Amino acid sequence: MARKFLRRYLPAPSEVSGNPALRPVSRWLKNPEIWHMHRRSIAGATFIGLFCAFLPFPFQMVIAAALAILARCNLPLAVSLVWISNPITIPPIFYFTYRLGAWLLNMEVSVDSVHLSWDWLMTNLEDIGYPLIFGSLLCGWVAGVTGYVLVRVSWRFHVISRWRDRKAHRQAKKAAASGSQ
């Protein structure tokens, strides 16, 4: 089951709460609702994590953690899904979201070359800012909603499958018991 898989890879509440670096926020980490693994919590965490992964701002993990605590969703999953946008995937993701935002806003793509420096960013922020933010928010929303729906639907199918398996097992057990009499 997905729950067993997630428990194997996500940290336990005691591991996170015991971290000395997180002592200032430990009172929020004691809320048991942010550690539960049920359909609503996992689906909400998936939405938050995927949405925050597309945000073109620093500290995406902090934003995801704050939103997960406010929405009472699974905190470790929300924070770990943010790592979809990592140092390797950030350039293609943000280039795509910039191009999408420019296309949807009917703006001309005005950046010919990219130089990874603070000066280049500040010089071109006015040209790339709106399309990048718009495209990022749109892609984050689409990814988050898609992830949310996929988790809810797959969880539901898994539960129905388990119900059917138990029903078939009960019927087989009942048939075997009535056949032996």
pLDDT tens-digit series, residues 50-81: 999 999 888 999 999 999 999 989 988 999 99
pLDDT value of position 130: 87
Q: What three-state secondary structure class fits 119?
A: helix
Residues 101, 134: contact at Cβ < 8 Å? yes
CB 71 within 8 A of CB 48: yes
Q: Report yes or no: 77 and 46 within 8 Å, Cβ to Cβ.
A: yes
Task: State the average pLDDT for the chain.
Answer: 83
Confidence check: pLDDT of 89 > 70:
yes
pLDDT digits (tens, 9 = 90+) for 18-60: 666 555 565 566 666 777 788 899 999 999 999 999 998 889 9
Question: What is the C-alpha separation between 127 and 172, in angstroms, rounded?
Answer: 68
Pick the more confident residue, 168 or 15.
168
For residue 81, give both structure tokens.
């899904």
Phi-psi region of 59 (alpha: psi -120 to 50; beta: other; left: phi over 0): left
